[in-house]
Amino acid sequence: MAKNRRDSITKQLTSRFLVLGLMAAAMWSLWLLHEFAPQGYSLNHLAIRPQSILGLVGIPLAPFLHGDLAHLAANTAPFLVLGGLVLMRSWNDFLFVTLFTVAGSGGGTWYFGASDTLHLGASGLIFGYFGFLLARGLFERTLVSLAIAVGVGFFYSGLIWTVFPDQEGVSWQAHCFGFLSGLMCAYFVARKRRR
Q: Rounded mean pLDDT of the chain?
A: 89
Grade residue 170 by pLDDT with cuts at 50, 70 and 90.
confident
The domain spans of the chain are: 2-194
Q: Return the pLDDT at 9.
A: 66
Report yes or no: 115 and 50 within 8 Å, Cβ to Cβ. Answer: yes
pLDDT tens digit sequence for 34-67: 888 777 677 888 899 999 998 999 999 999 999 8
| Residue 12 burial class via C-beta count within 10 angstroms: exposed 0-12, middle 13-18, buried 19 and up | exposed
Q: Which residues contact 188 (CB under 8 A, 6 or more apart)?
A: 96
Q: Calculate mean pLDDT across residues 129-147.
A: 92
Domain 2-194 has CATH 3.40.50.970: no
- 175-186: pLDDT as tens digits: 999 999 999 999
Quote the CA–CA distance of 8 and 109 in Å, as a whole number. 41
